Every structure is written in structure tokens, then in C-alpha cells.
Structure 1
Amino acid sequence: MRFLVANVCRTKGLSVSLTPLRRRLIASVKPKSLPTSRPLPPRRLLAIAAAAALLSSQGAHASSQTKHPKATLNGTEVVCALGSFICPPRPDNFALCRPNGMLEFYDPFLSKDSALRASASTQVWAEHVESPDQITYHLSGHVKTVRADQELHADFADYNSDTTDYDARGGVHYQESAHLLSADHITGNTDNSTGLATGNVRYQILDSHGNGTAVRAEMLDADRNRYTMATYSTCDIGRHIWELRAKQIETDDTTGRGVARNATMSMYGVPFFYFPWMTFPLNNDRQSGFLYPYFEHTGNAGYQFRIPYYFNLAPNYDATLTPRYYSKRGAMLSGEVRYMFPRTSGIFQIEFLPHDNYNDQKLTSTSIDTQNQQRYLYHFVNSTSLWPGWSLSTNLNRASDQNYLRDFGNDLFTISTALLYSSVYLNGAGNWWSASVGGDVWQNVDPSQANSVEPYKRLPRATFNMDIPFARWYDVGLTSEAVKFHKFDEVEGSRIDLNPYIDADFQGPAWFIRPKLAYRYTGYSLDSGYQRYSYYTPLTSGTTPFTESNPSRALPIVSLDQGLIFERSTSLFDTHYTQTLEPRLYYLYVPYRNQNNLPLFDTAPMAFDDWMLFAPNQFSGADRQMNANNLTAAVTTRLLDDGGVERLSATFGQIRYFTPQRVQTPCTTTSGTTVSGCTAATNWSGSDYVAELSTQLNDQWSANTEYLWNPNTRLTDLGTFTLQRRLGFDGILNFSYRFRRGLLEQYEASAVYPISERWRLIGEWTYSMMDKRTVEALAGVQYEGCCVKVSLVARHYVTGYYGVVTALPPGQTAPGSDTAVMFQLEFKGMGTFSGQTESVLRRDILGYQ
């Protein structure tokens, strides 16, 4: 007997989504530092670090008793590793749904491989079979047919072997690899892959957890279906928290798209959104359509409403158009275009407000009046491959005025941005060389500062670097730069910096010796009128002007880096480790050259940190090269587990100065005015003591600390401490302390605390000890059920970054604050989308997922 009703109903079911999938790109950095100045008592952080290490070790000892984390239905959820800067969003998790929540006739033992249908035989069971002409077959009484992944049950079934027409009646149940369907009556044609189901139609999509009902279901062909008076939800069957009801739904598996007409979205039976026509995705592919709407309120902009629309134009390019409305400022239109071609890729973003209706009281006279003015911000990044080894990179950022980020930003990261950077470079590289030519410019977006704070424009700027190995151990190389500097009412000119070198790398399994000999030449060509300027331009009474139009500096740089590596087997808390001991010596010699007649174009002293123990210069840029006769001594120990993972690392080191540091940037003018951000000559015998400790003895605890203590001033120069603790599967607890003498002292605590499987609390708090105020605070609650996610978050943050509050320029006031309230509602299975709330939380809370 031929396969009876083998394709009685290949109706695919629904995979309806209000919002299409959009894989968004998020990289944010969240600097949280308002300048403060308060000495930290020495050894405080070392004591904290010791306690943290003890707690970590206790956590490691008890790790065998921790519960295994829960997983999603398909096992795709991965816990973000401790210490990750930004964690990826979690996929939809239906583990909270009712276990085995399938339609009652689901057979879990049926094959899931649809490819077996073509070669599989058909098995038929029935209490009665009649065939009056050997063409028409009548089956009755518990009819059951099975072929590969297809199974059909009915009370009665008729089949015509010539036309392949079929007719199944009475409690029809159909199952295949990805779908379940039940109806009172199904008719159709097997060869044409058509069918019609009527009467109490129910369906379930096994892959997407979607299910619903329909009055009528039509299979138009093997890939297209039409449903009349249909519902859809990813909630448990019979427990629909939310539901989509449509007069007609059409699905197309070839395009992965669905179209609903006269559709209404309801929650707990209450309609809240109507769509006369809408499209939605049937799978996780990118699809055009509306993204989730977003609501927010801030003091500077008022109530905000956004509803983005995503255009999936092609596999390699797309666009998003986002109309916005601010109750205090008016209507704004923003957009984003992303593209990726064989030789070029990039992204373009723009925000445009035709008329700003907000009567904003500006902080300083340097800010333009933006009332009823056009406001905009654009960002363009592009990388183009021109020919083998050469590419063009572009990064353009521009705002309409200095107040834009303060007025429209809703987080500390945005409003603390003081400069927008733009650059265009032609880059080339080969096996032993690299080169670039282009330029850099900056825009001041700090409303408390005049535009004179902008760095020099570097137009044009060219670099060339090479490193050629020869013999067995040796390299010869060159780093070089040629640049033209421009800045209004400042000394201008050109600079060339050449640094040829030869180095070697002698090493064995337990030792290394790396000598290096370099020669640095830096020459200038100052533009006419340089005599009118000094370090404090324009030239004022008592200051010394530049006296040479072509000053230069040349000197040798000699260094020797050497170290040993010892290791042994050890045990800690009944765990086997390999411990290393790595002593290291670094000698640096640079003769002194008087550089007081060289301009400061793009050079500033760098704050001392651990990496400067082995750095050849304490200045950024080429305008200053420190003199040195120094020896750095440092020792590092590590604990490596049997898998080679570093579980503990500790470093201690210091630089010993055999000659005073004489190269400096001026700290005072001849009239006695103090200048910030400078270095003075010193006769110290040693640098800060540097101590570092990081530990992660198990997957639940992580702690890191760094401590710098100055033996000359007997003050702490820097102290940082970060502690991270995982709470269950999706909870996290963070605590950090940051101190830099004369700049900042801040505490920060954040947590994602799971109250239950469905509820969790979210909080973050950053406090500045110097300013005696909260820099940023966040509190919220999240609910995640079987088919919905709800987030309500309130954020309080400062609305400017003006430096130390106690030292504001005359006429300026302390930065104010603002509060934003964000609400987000997500329906699972309606497309994966990371809204504004999710991106803010991932950036603000380390380890949030």
C-alpha cells in the first residue's frame, strides 16, 4: 500500500514575532572617575587584598559543594567568565516554562530526522480498511500512520492513490520533526503539498516554543501557509500571558518571514497595540520590521519615546531608522547604516533634531545658544582595503555644539566625554614594515571649557616602522614619525622623530637576556612668528619666548632586560599547582639633554603605573625624552593549575635611580603661576614601590589589587582593588576602590542579586570621596518568566565633568545631576533584541548578562 496521508498536513505552524531579530554591535567603555584628592593610608589595600585572597581560597575549598548552574532547553546558554569587561546578551531561555509542555499527543520517541522521509516505508494501523476499487482506501477506527519523522492519528481517513487526495476526520493529530498540529478535519493533496485544516485547530512549533490556535489553516505549498483567525504566543499552552491575535497570518519558510493583517497584541487578555499590517520573523535570521519601543525620562530631555525600524536590505548591509520624541525638546530622527563588502566595511550613525524647543540655561559663555537651533551628532567608521597590504581607515565624529552630549546623554559615559576624536589614515604593512599617512583632529564637547583645550591638529601625519631580523638572535629596526601641528593662537610647526635601534633576544627554557641599543633624533621647524610664544602662549610679561626656529634633540638609549624563570610543584587547599618564581632586572641608560627650548605639541607626563617599571620614557609623545640611569628590580610569582590556567599572580618591584631626573615640563611660570599636569626635577633614589595581586582560585571568586607607595613622600600614589563574586547562575556582586593621589578617590559597588528563579534585583553605586557626592547610582528590578522579560531601572548621574569641584573657575558652578527612568518589556521568541536598558546594564555592571 502506498503511503496514506503521508503529507496530510505539513502545515508549519506559526513563529510570530512583533520585533525582528537584530544583531546589534555594543562597545562601550564606562569611565567613572571624577577627580578627587585624598591620601590613602599606606598598606590599606594590601590588607584588603590579603583578606580577599583568603576568601578566594576558602571559596576554592568549598567549590565541590556548589550547585550546577541551570541551562536552557537547548543547552546554548553560557555563563560569562569572571572579569569579562562586557558580557554578551543571554539567549532566550525557556527553562522556566512548564516541563514537557507539549500538546498532549506529542511522541518524544518519534524520529527527528526529516531527511529519512524519501526512503522510509510507511506503517499504517487501523481497525477497519476498505478498498472498493484498489484506488480509494477507507480507514476507520484509531487510524495511525508513521513515516520517518511524520505521524498522523485520526478516527477516519480516506485516500486516493491516483490523485493523492486525502481526507482525515475526527480528532486529527499530526506530528513532524518541528511541528505539532491538531484539528477536527484535514483535507489536501500529497503531490501538491496542499492542505486545509478546520475545526479547533491547535498548533505548536517545537523549535521556537511557539503555539496557538486558528479557525482555519491552509497549506498553500510546501513552504507557505495561511491561518485565519489565529493566535500565537511562546507562553505555556493554556497559560498565555501575552498573545498575538490576527485576522490572517501568512508564513513563508523560504524567506523566514510572516505577514499578519489586522493584528492585535494583548497581555493578560488586555489589548495594548494594534497593527493593520505587520511582518515578523519565523526564525533567528535578521528580518526587517519594528524593534521594541523604548521609553525613558530624563531631566534634560523630558519623556522620551523611540520606536526603531530595522531594514534588512541585504545579507551584507542593513539600516535602522529611529524616530524619537522628547517632550521638552521636540522630534528627533536618528539612523544607522551598516555595510560589509569584499573590500570595505563600516558603520554610519546620525542624530538630527531640526529645532530644539528647550530653553537651556548654559553654564558658560563659551556655549552657543542652542534654543531653536539644529542639533546633530554623527559617527562614521570605515575600513577599505585598497590593494594587498594597504587600507584606508576613517573615523569621523562631530557634534553640533559643546552641549549636545550633556543635553541628550543619559549616562556618565556619554556626558563625561570631553573630546570627540576624528582621523583618516592610509595604512600599509608588510612582513617587516608598517606605514601610515593621515591626520587627527579633536572637537571640544565639554561645555565648561573653552575651545582652547582642544589638542593640536595633526595634519598631515606620517609614520614608518620596521623590524628586520638577521642572524639568529638579532633585529634591526626603526620607528619614525613626521607631523605638522596646527592650533589657533599657539606656536605651530613641524616635527620629525627618528628612532633606529638594534636589539637581541637570547633565551632558554628558564632565562632570557634582551639588550637593546637605540638612537633618538627629534627635530623641529617652527612657523614664522614663533618668537611671540612661550610655553604659556601667547607670550606674557616675564615669560621666555622660543629662541630657535629649528631646535632639535639627539641622544642614545641603552637598555638591558634579563630574567629567570623557576618553577616547582606545590599544593594549596588540597589542589595541585605549578608555582613559578620570576625575578627580573631591567637597566636603562639615557643621557641628559636640555629640552627646555622644544615646544610641547602632543606630549605630557604619564602617571606612574606598573608597566612603567620597564618603559624607556615617562612622557607620551616625542617632545620630551627623560634622562635615565636606572635599574628596575621586580619579582613575579604565579600559580598555574593542571590545565595551565593562571589562578594567582603576584608582582613586586621598584626602579632605583642612580642619577636625578632632570628632564621636566614646567610647573610654574616666571611670574609664579602654577601649571597643572607637569613634572619637576627630582633627586629621588627610588620610584614608587609597585605591588600587584590577582587571584581566581575558582570560578566563583575573582580579586585584583594594585598598590603604589612613594618612599620619598611616604604617601600612597595609587591604590585599586576589585572584587567579583558570582551569585548562583546569573547573579554577580562587584566591589571596587580606585585612588590616585590628587585626582580621585572613588568607591563602586554593583550587584545582580537573584531573589528567585524569576526575580532579581539590580543595583550600582559610585561615590566620590573628594566631592562628597554620588557620581552615579542605579537601581532596578527584573522579572523573567516563561515568555516575558520585564526591566524597570532608575538611574541618577552627574550631568557634567568639570574636574575638582572645589577648584572650579570663577563663575562656574558644580556639575548638576539628572535622573533617568527606563522601562523595557520583552516578549520571548519575538526576535532577539538588546534594548537600551540591556546595553546600559551590561556597560555599568561588570559581569551582567
Structure 2
Amino acid sequence: MKKTCASLLLFSLGWQPVQGQTRSTNAEPQNASDTALLCPTSPVQFSSKQLMSPGEVKVEADSTEILSQRVAHFRGNVGITSDAAIIQADEAQVKNNGRQLEASGNVQYQDAQLQVNSDEVLLDSVSETLNMSNTNYQLNGSNGRGTAQEIDLTSSDGLILSDVSFTTCPIQSRDWMIKASEISIERGSLWGQAKNTRFYVGDVPVFYLPYFAFPVSDQRQTGLLFPEISSSSNTGIDIEQPFYWNMAPNYDMTLSPRLMTDRGVQLKTQFRHLSEQGYSMVDVEYLPSDQDTTNEDDRYFYRITHDGYLNENWTVGLDLNGLSDDNYFVDLGSEYYNRADTHLARTVGLNYYTPDMLLDIHLRDFETIGVQSGSYRTLPEARLRISKPFARYFELSLDSEIAYFDNTDESAPTAMRFHVAPTLALPYQRNWGELTAEATLLNTYYRQSNIEDTELSSEVNRTLGQGRLYGTLYFERDGGWLSDTGTTTLEPKVQYLYTSYEDQSDIGIYDTTVLLTDMESIFRGREFIGLDRINDNNQITIGATSRILDDAHREQFALSLGQIFYLGNNQVESPTQNRDRSALAAELDWRITDRWYFHSDVQIITQTNEVERSSHSLEYRRDAESLVQVSHRYVRELSGETIDQVGLSASWPINQNWHWVGRTYRDLERNRSIESYFGLQYESCCWAIQLVAQRQLSNRFADDGQQSTDEYDSGFGLQFIFKGLGSSKSSRRMLEDGMFGYRQPYNLN
């Protein structure tokens, strides 16, 4: 009897594909700790340790009666355990040589996916059927639960639940529920079907669907995604309904009609393709006849990207972007750009890589937003870097580049530039320090055109010599500054740099800008990024970093100071001309306690004791969702303006159900608000409601291309979420949206 009973139970209790489909009708389970806080009852948990080994079945009962080796009766605390599930009942009967099982009286069925309480369970291995009547079910690991008048499981029809209900709310607080006359899941199908479905809030029916299909696996499937609803002064009421089309296993498309009451209907389309050779994505957004523009203009945006793999050494990349007008992002928003961006990239690249060589060839173009000075594009640009050991102690490297610069302004100069820079280095590295000596020859050739009425030369050949000597030491001692635990380090570093001088006033400015004077840049030995200006140097850079590490070698404190001392005046025009030293660069990262953090980054002009740039932040972080950050940034000179801004970002649970997030930034120079955001959420274990309000500078462009800095855009959003029909935990999404722009501005190991 035990062997035949085992074959029956293994069929009924081990039908994993159908059980998996039943589970997938519920959303992803909540974190157990979150559920415990929000819900008075915890989800049912199931341990596989309760099960038998594969192929074994254990039957326990207070009494057993076997009739003619064909029928077995089990009475009193009956427990039947296989390698897949457990059945408990008051009474059970095995018939037909173990091919049929009937269990009755407080029947409980439990496996890794769900737990079912019913009046009766019937199993038949001949017809391959399982029937449960008058059931209550609970999904393991989550709060998903419900009732069903009957549950039928057959090999031919799959799973059918009659007169079924589903909710994620606890029994004593049924805030919402779904009821259906029938839910069916065919065996092997990726879709379930629901008939005569009613949606209840409390005991009030609020929505009815005669039929709908829903996915029962984690495979990508065609269907509607969750809509997005918001409101702003730019768009009016804004409703976007995405539709996902699973065209093939390796490519798909998302179509998102977007209704804006102030502008009209926009269609957003995203196509994705994946192959062994790479990944491609095409985004197209189109709004015909924008009702909020004077001439009801058609508006569009497109983005095409591709990352390709040709072989183990060659890769190819593509990034093309375009839009209809300067105010597109301001009015309609974007997932890829924000209203402060001034250029859209248009790049095609080919790359070759080996451990000793890196080659990249690019076509770089831009589409400008608003009135910008002429932007140079490289059509094309090729860069080659080779690095190899030389002799026994030396390293030889070669950096070279060839580029052609064209301008969006047809009257601007154009140029072909060829650059080559061989370097011979002698690196010496040990665990107590480092010493490096380098000698570099920098040769750059320009052929410039369209230079009438300028001081530029048609041909320039610039050759410079550069020598660099760099050294650093690592000191350690036990104990911190104010305690005897941990480790304190001191890392002094010094660099001497010499670069010869050559007049460069007859070279145009094509891709060169000034570097910031921070701890990273002062040891680069260059004041410009790009090759059009290479300043002459005769300077010493001195810096030091001190760290405090705790007993687990985590960095608790790090202070860095550095400054360049010029031994002669630069003859190439530079921001440090007529100074004997650079700004003092200082950085501080301090983990004050496990919850308090402080970061500071300052550059000070020591001749006048004026702050050139600074940023500070003080943060209190109690946990992942409870934090407050105060920040301030200052720039003395940026495009003719002073930047002096203070910000406050916060996220804090009011209690276990209420949570708020917010941020505000204020311009102290102009005494006005830059941006404000406030979000409030109520969340229970089975539903949530979010209220969001925001106001920010719109940065709109006028007809002449000039950007306004005085107009504001305000928005309001309301979202209702039923858990189990979407994300099971919603406050984190609101936190991320509300803290957009928030970053912990430093990393402590």
C-alpha cells in the first residue's frame, strides 16, 4: 500500500508547474519586516525541511484500518507528507490500490507556494484530478489570500477556481478585494483567465470586468502596463497608458499613448532588440498639433542607441538624439534628459582593445538647445594609446590623436589636429610608498581654415617638452586622534612638474576648457582639459591625506589638503596667471557616528582668503528611508554669475503607515526658491495612496533662443496603489522620486 499511495501522492502533491502558476497571480512578496510593521498578522512561511526525501511518503494517524489490501482508512490527526507537500485531516481514505485519496474534516493542504484549508480533498491518479471544496487559501511568503467554493486541478484543463476572491489585506481589515465567478489557468499556459470580476473597496463594488487575462509567469508577455497619472501647469491632467508588445524572444516594443488635457495626445514608442552581437534601442515620441503652442506645432523627440560586439577586441557604439524645438524637455519632460541640458549627443564610435593598446574612432556631433555659442563637432576623431614595459624598469607609452573640428556656425574657424605624445616612465612602487619619474614629448600639428579676420595661422606645429617627478609615502600608527582604537594614516605626496613654453595664440579653441582646482586635478599638471592650450609649468605641488580607520578597516575620517606653488609666471593665458600659488584645495569626509555624515570640498584663494568654490553637506541617516540632508554650494564665478545655493532634502516616516519626503533648494544670491518638492503617503499592508506637489523653475526658451530664469512650473499628482496588483512596497518609489538629485556625495569604505 505504501508504494501505490506514494505514486498517487507524488502526482497530486508534486505538480509543480501548475502550483507555480497559482503563485504567480500574486505580486512579489513584501519584505517580512515591512509586513510585520504594517500588518497585524505575518505571512505564512513554509520550510522544505518538513518534507520527505524524493520518492518517499509518510502517513501518520491515530488509527489505521486496511481492508483486503485495496482500501485503507486513517482516522484522527491524519498527516500525509511527501517530498512536495503536506496534507493534514481528521480522516482520510485510500482506495483502488492507492489510486484514489479522500480526506475530510478540517483538511489543510500546504506546499512551498500556498496553504489551503478545505472541507474535503479528492485525488484520483487515474483521471489525474484534484478537487477541494469550500476552501480558504493563503499564498506563502506574502499576504495574498482568498476563498474559493471549489478548486479543481486536472491534467487536461489545468487549474480552475470557482466563486473565488483575492486580497492582500488582513482578515480583520478588508480594505479591498477582487471577486470572480471563475479563474482558470490552463496547464502550460502563460496566461490566466478571470470571468465576471468585481473589484471591491470595503464592501462596495467599484469596478466590473466581464473578462480579462493576466500573466501567470515571469516571462515577458504582451499586455497593458500600469498607467501613469499626474498633473502640471505645463500639461494639464496627464494620463499615460503603456502597452507592452512581446514581438519575439529577443525584441519587443512598448507603445504609450499619453493624453494631456492642455496639449493633446502624444504617442511614445520604444523598440528594443537584443542579439549576440549587441543591444539596440529606438525611442520615438510624437505630439501632433500641440494645442498649447501659438501655431499648434508638431513636436517630436527621438533617440537611437546601439552597443555592439564585433569580436573579443572590437566593439561599436551609436548614440543619436534629436528634438523638434528648444522647449521640448521643459514642456513634455524626458526619461533621458532634463531641462538644464544644453546639448544632445550624436555619436558613432568604433573601439579596439587589447591589454597593451586602446583605439577608438568616433564621429561626434551635437544638437544645441537654446542660443549657445558655436559648438565644435569632431568628424572624425581617432585616439590611440599604447603602453608597454621597456627594458627592465621602464614603461613606454604613446598617446596619439587625429581629429577634424567643424562648427555649427559656418563663419567659425575649422581645423585638423594631429597630436602625438610618447612618454618614458620609471615607476617604483612598494607598500610603503611610490616614486615615479616621467619624460614626455608633446607634438601637435594644426591645419586651420576659415580664419580670415582672425589671428590664427593656417598651419601650426607646436612641440613641448615635459618632465614630472612624483612621490608619496604611507605612514600608519595604531589609534585614532582622540582614541586608542583603530588606525591613523598619513600620506604626504609631492610633485615637481616642468613644461616648456611656446606661444599658442595662433591656435583656435576647439575642445579645451579649464579644469577645476580640486585634489584630483592639482596633481594632473594641467590647467586645461583638451589640447588647444597646454600651459607652461615650473611648479611644485604639495599635498597630504590623513585617514582614520576603525578596527574593521572602515574609513571613518579622511582629510586631504593640496596646493600648487608656481616657481615662475605662466606665459600661456591661464586662470592662475600672475599668482604665485593655486587655490588651496581641501576635502573632508567624516563619518561622525553610524548615523551622522559630513562632507566638505573647498577651494580657497590664499592670497585674498576668498572662497573660490565650495560644497558642504551634513546628513543624518537613521535607516534606508529615514534621512535628512542639508547642503550648500558656492561658486564665485560661473559664466559671469555667482552661485550661492542651499538645499534641504528629507525623508521620514511619521508612523508605521504615514511617510513624507521633500526637498527644497534656494538661491541665496537672488533670494528666491529654485525648486520645491513634497510627497505624502499613507500605506497599509494592502493599499497605499500618494500625494505629490512640486514647483520649480521652468527654464523656458523665448522665440529668440534666450532662456527665462523667472518662470515657474508647478505640478500635482495623486496615485492609488493596491498591493498585489502592482508593487508590493510603494514608499521606496516615492522616496526615490522625492529625493531625485539626492546623492551621498562621498564614499567611505
TM-score by length of 2: 0.89
Aligned partners of 1:573, 1:711: CA distance in 2, in Å? Answer: 29
CA 1:724–1:410: 2 relative to 1, 3 Å: farther
CA distance in 1, matches of 2:669, 2:307: 43
SS of match in other structure, 1:280 = strand
Distance in structure 1 (CA, Å) of the matches to 2:204 and 2:92: 41
Q: Distance in 1 between matches of 2:634 and 2:685?
A: 44
Instruction: Tell me the residue number matched to 1:480.
Output: 400
CA–CA distance in 2 between the matches of 1:502 and 1:713?
A: 40
Separation in 2 of the partners of 1:729 and 1:372? 46
For residues 572 and 223 of structure 1, the distance between their equivalents in structure 2, rounded to whole angstroms, comes to 74
1:841 to 714, 738, 743: 738
RMSD: 3.2
- Counterpart of 1:764? 663
The answer (yes or no) to whether the contact 1:519–1:556 under 8 Å persists in 2 is yes
Deviations 1:108-160 (A, max 9, x none): 7x75566x3643232142557463x4323455565443345533234554432
Q: Show the counterpart of 1:96.
A: 38
1:185 to 113, 120, 126: 120
Overall identity of the aligned pairs, in %: 25
Deviation at 1:262, TM superposition (A): 3.5
- 1:613-654, CA deviations, whole angstroms, 9 ceiling, x for partnerless residues? 112221121111111111111111111222222211101121
Match of 1:84 in 2: none
Range that drifts further, 477-486 or 179-188: 179-188
**CA gap 1:471/1:391 in 2 versus in 1, 3 angstroms:** same
> How far is the alpha carbon of 1:339 from its aligned partner?
3.7
2:532 corresponds to which residue?
623
Deviation string, structure 1 residues 321-369 (Cα, Å, up to 9, x no partner): 2221111111112132334322212333222212312135xxxxxxxxx
What code does the residue aligned with 1:166 have?
A: L
Residue pair 1:802, 1:814 contacting (<8 A) in 2 also: no
Task: Flag the 1:821–1:771 CA change in 2: closer, same or farther, 3 A.
Answer: same
User: Aligned pair 1:428/2:365, yes or no?
Assistant: no
The residue number in structure 2 matching 1:300 is: 234
Q: For residue 461 of structure 1, report the CA deviation from its aligned partner.
A: 1.2
Matched, 1:788 2:747: no
* Match of residue 270 from structure 2: 336
User: What is the CA-CA distance between 1:163 and the residue it aligns to?
Assistant: 7.2
Q: Contact 2:460 / 2:507 at 8 angstroms: preserved in 1? A: yes
List aligned pairs for 1:490-505, cutoff 5 A: 490-505=412-427
Residue matched to 1:228: 162
Equivalent residues in 2 for 1:54-69 (5 A)? none
Q: CA deviation at 1:817?
A: 0.7
Give the C-alpha shift of residue 407 in structure 1: 0.9
Return 189-198 or 732-741, whichever deviates more: 189-198
Cα separation, partners in 2 of 1:645 and 1:340, compared to 1, 3 Å: farther
Contact conserved, 1:651 with 1:692, CA < 8 A, in 2? yes
Match of 1:405 in 2: 329
Aligned-pair CA distance for 1:551: 1.9
Can you give the 5+ residue segments of structure 2 that lack an aligned partner in the other structure?
none
Q: Tell me, what secondary structure is at the counterpart of 2:634?
A: strand
**Would you say the 8 A contact 1:15–1:210 is kept in 2?**
no
SS at match of 2:131: strand
Distance 1:681 1:186, change over 3 A: closer
Higher relative contact order (CA 8 A, sep 6+): 1
Structure 1 position 686 matched with structure 2 position 590: no
Rounded Cα–Cα distance in structure 1 between residues aligned with 2:249 and 2:157: 21
1:746 counterpart residue number? 645
- 1:599 equivalent to 2:508? Answer yes
Among 643, 650, 672, the residue aligned to 2:552: 643
The reply to whether residue 72 of structure 1 matches residue 31 of structure 2 is yes
Equivalent position of 2:57 in the other structure: 121
Taking structure 1 as reference, are residues 694 and 326 closer, same or farther at Cα in structure 2, changes over 3 Å only? same
Letter in 2 for 1:462: A
Deviation at 1:513, TM superposition (A): 1.1
Equivalent residues of 1:662, 1:681 under 8 A apart: no
CA deviation map 1:41-86 (0-9, x unaligned): xxxxxxxxxxxxxxxxxxxxxxxxxxxxxx932x8xxxxxxxxxxx
Number of the residue aligned with 1:732? 627
SS of the residue corresponding to residue 648 of structure 1 reads strand
* Aligned mates of 1:432, 1:571 — CA distance in 2: 42
Equivalent-residue separation in structure 2 for 1:327 and 1:382 (angstroms):
35
Match of 2:465 among 556, 576, 579: 556
SS of residue paired to 2:521: helix
Q: Structure 2 CA distance, aligned partners of 1:203 and 1:718?
A: 63
Mapped pair 1:821 → 2:716: yes
Paired position in structure 2 for 1:266:
200
Aligned residue in 1 for 2:81: 146
For the pair 1:175 / 2:110, whether they are aligned, the reply is: yes
Which residue is equivalent to 1:87?
none
- Partners of 2:60 and 2:347 lie apart in 1 by 72
State the alpha-carbon separation in 2 of the partners of residues 302 and 144 from structure 1.
62
1:585-613 residue CA offsets vs partner (Å, 9 max, x unmatched) = 11111122111110111212233322221
User: Contact 1:632–1:654 at 8 Å: present in 2 too?
Assistant: yes
How far the C-alpha of 1:832 sits from its partner, in A, is 4.2
Matched, 1:471 2:391: yes
Q: Offset at 1:237?
A: 3.6
Deviates more, 1:205-214 or 1:334-343: 334-343
**Offset, 1:778:** 0.6
Listed one character per residue, the Cα deviations across residues 550-602 of structure 1 (whole Å, up to 9, x for unaligned) are 12311111111112111101146656211111111111111221111101112
Task: Work out whether residues 613 and 654 of structure 1, in 8 Å CA contact, stay in contact via their aligned partners in 2.
Answer: yes
- Matching residue of 2:301: 377
Equivalent residue letter for 1:168: A
In 1, are the aligned partners of 2:469 and 2:495 still within 8 Å (CA)?
yes
TM-score of the aligned structures, taking structure 1 as reference length: 0.79
8 Å Cα contact 2:361-2:382 kept in structure 1: yes
Do the aligned residues in 1 keep the contact of 2:196 with 2:211 (CA within 8 Å)? yes
Q: 1:750-779: per-residue Cα shift (whole Å, max 9, x none)?
A: 011121122222110111112321111111
Matching residue's letter, 1:96: L
What letter corresponds to residue 738 of structure 2 in structure 1?
A: L
Distance (whole Å) between structure 2 residues aligned to residue 636 and residue 758 of structure 1? 45
8 Å Cα contact 1:695/1:703 also seen in 2? yes
Q: Partner amino acid for 2:296? A: N
Question: Greater CA deviation, 344-353 or 832-841?
Answer: 832-841
* Larger CA deviation: 219-228 vs 763-772: 219-228
2:583 equivalent to 1:583: no
SS of the counterpart of 1:415?
coil
State how far apart, in whole Å, the 2-side matches of 1:508 and 1:749 are: 45
1:264 CA displacement = 3.4
Change in CA separation of 1:188 and 1:313 when aligned onto 2, cut-off 3 Å: farther
- 1:411–1:797 contact (8 Å) kept in structure 2: no
**Do the aligned partners of residues 729 and 257 (structure 1) sit closer, same or farther apart at CA in structure 2, a change above 3 Å counting?**
same
Contact 2:43/2:143 (<8 A) preserved = no
Structure 2 vs 1, CA of residues 18 and 262 (structure 1 numbering), >3 Å: closer, same or farther? farther
Matched residue type, 2:618: L
Residue 388 in structure 1 maps to residue 323 in structure 2: no
Distance in 2, matches of 1:607 and 1:175, equals 64
Does 2:339 correspond to 1:415?
yes
Equivalent residue letter for 1:477: S
CA shift, 1:241, in A, is: 2.2
Is the partner of 2:737 in helix, strand or coil? helix
Q: Would the aligned equivalents of 2:592 and 2:598 in 1 still touch at CA under 8 Å? A: no
Alignment partners' CA distance in 1, 2:292 and 2:416: 44
AA matched with 2:452: Q
Do the aligned partners of residues 385 and 812 (structure 1) sit closer, same or farther apart at CA in structure 2, a change above 3 Å counting?
A: closer
| 1:795-826 superposed Cα distances (whole Å, 9 cap, x missing partner) | 111111789xxxx9998753311112223333
Cα contact 1:802–1:815 (8 A) shared by 2? no
Q: Confirm or deny that 1:716 pairs with 2:611.
A: yes
| The one of 265, 288, 291 aligned to 1:354 | 288
> CA-to-partner distance for each residue in 1:455-514, whole Å, 9 max, x for gaps?
112111111111111234321111111111112221112111211111121122222111
- Structure 1 pair 438/227, CA: closer, same or farther in 2 (3 Å)? same
Are the aligned partners of 1:258 and 1:279 in contact in 2 as well (CA < 8 Å)? yes
Give the 5 Å matches for 1:494-573.
494-527=416-449, 529-532=450-453, 534=454, 545-546=455-456, 548-571=457-480
- What's the offset of the Cα at 1:717? 0.2
Q: Is the 8 A contact 1:20 1:830 kept in 2?
A: no
